[in-house]
Amino acid sequence: MDKPLEKPTVLIVDDIEINREILHEILCGDYDTIKASNGREAIKAVVANEKINCILLDLMMPDISGFDVMEILRSSGHIPRIPVIIITANSDDANEIKGLKMGAVDFLGKPFNPDVVLCRVAAQVELNLYRHKLEELVDRKTQRILNMRDSMLEIMANIIEHRHIESGQHVKRTKVMAERLFELLRDSGKFAEQFHNVKIEDAVKAVPLHDIGKIGIPDNVLLKPGRLTPEEFEIIKQHTVIGNGIITELEELYKDEGSDAKKYEDYIRYCREICLFHHERWDGNGYPHRLKGNEIPLTARVMSIVDVYDALTSKRVYKPAMTHEEAMAEIVKNAGTQFDPEMIRIFDENNEDFDEIFKSYSDPELENQVQL
């Protein structure tokens, strides 16, 4: 049996009961109605009900007038999202002009003509429903485009990791590990002030781009199986600066979103922080800017820990993999020098989580390839 279609909802606001009942009788066949006897009730009804498709609003009410209600709804963003039809016995042009300037879409005079009421309400409700449908379509399309963009960036990060003879799973593992560590730090309460400006979802999306600058490092340096010379290491260190340049280009791309560009500011900031600063050290001996302690953004400190843990526990053509226990011992040993000591304490207390993530995203194909 088909589910009955929901009727559109109309809010009727009038301090005179007979007016509310007349309008209800006119509309109840085609609409669900909510009745409010004053401005305060009307505002509460709008806040409590997201499905109101039209408001019939009396102007002359005690305490809070119809104009006051409109001003409150306009400042809260409900106007113009919900069309407002003013109902009044006063046909004064000044009131009509004021109402229209405040966002009203139409007027209904008293006494009510049922046919006129139905026609005008129907027109506004239809426009409102059509607008909501368009907004939903735009939101879905926008989300699809953003998902495609995120996927393309992650694919590009995977390509870079494969060029470095590392597993494509490295990107996935560090992303999941970073998300888990962000959650643990947030829930600990120890980083509350620093988390004030961190949106975990956007920060996690930025993680795959941490080594994007390696695309600009020559193969003879990037793929060298043995120990790097001091000169070669200086070249490798440039991947953070190169990556920052790529993020700047990405920022220009997002600026093309026009008025929506502000939505991506946090994401771009996290990309820059993680890409540029994930090789900084807590003691100030990292690169490229020798930042120290809390000068290093929280996002980069998190990336540094999970990146090193994954590197230590992963097998490469130039080194064997450490066990989870060996890697944890090495990381804990460097708390307060390479890593934020409080972060390492929390990381260590929950170390089984990261062992489990590593195993869940292992790459047996790479293991087989390396052993050949």
Please give the radius of gyration of the chain, using alpha carbons only, rounded to the nearest integer. 30
165 falls in which pLDDT band (50, 70, 90)? very low
CA distances from 266 to 240, 256, 359 (A): 19, 16, 31
Cβ pair 87, 123 in contact under 8 A: no
Query: For residues 120-136, b (16+ Cβ closer than 10 Å) or e, as one string?
Result: bbeebbeebeeeeeeee
Task: Provide the pLDDT for residue 223.
Answer: 78
**Cα angle: 354, vertex 358, 364; to 5 degrees:** 170
In this predicted structure, the answer to whether residue 348 has a pLDDT above a threshold of 80 is yes
Find the largest Cα–Cα distance for the chain: 91
The domain segmentation of the chain, as residue ranges, is 9-134, 164-371
Q: Is the pLDDT score of 154 beyond 80?
A: no
Q: Which CATH number fits domain 9-134: 3.40.50.980, 3.40.50.720, 3.40.920.10, 3.40.50.2300?
A: 3.40.50.2300
pLDDT tens for each residue of 15-35: 999 999 999 999 999 999 999
Total Cβ atoms within 10 A of residue 222: 19
pTM of the model: 0.59
Interval 122-150: pLDDT, tens: 999 988 888 878 777 777 766 665 665 56
**Which of 268, 224, 277, 278 minimizes the C-alpha distance to 248?**
268
Percentage of the chain beyond pLDDT 90 is: 50
| pLDDT, tens digit (0-9, with 9 covering 90-100), for 184-242 | 999 999 998 888 878 999 999 899 889 888 888 888 888 787 788 999 999 999 999 99
Task: Name the E strands within 18-59.
Answer: 32-36, 52-58
What are the φ and ψ backbone dihedral angles of 356, each rounded to 5 degrees?
-65, -40
- Domain 164-371 in CATH 3.30.365.10: no
Q: Residue 106 is which amino acid? A: D
Taking all residues of the chain, what is their mean pLDDT, rounded to a whole number?
85
CA distances from 344 to 265, 305, 309, 329, 340 (A): 29, 8, 11, 11, 6
Cα(153)–Cα(261) distance, integer angstroms: 18
pLDDT at residue 372, as a whole number: 26
Q: Has residue 367 got a pLDDT over 50?
A: no
Q: For residue 85, what are the β-bridge partners?
A: 56, 106
Count of residues for the chain?
Answer: 372
The reported pLDDT for the residue numbered 286 is 96
Give residue-wise pLDDT tens across range 280-329. Answer: 999 999 999 999 999 999 999 999 999 999 999 988 766 789 999 999 99
From 321, 342, 319, 322, select the one nearest 332 (Cα to Cα): 342
| Structure-block tokens of residue 278 | 């994930």
Three-class SS of residue 97?
helix
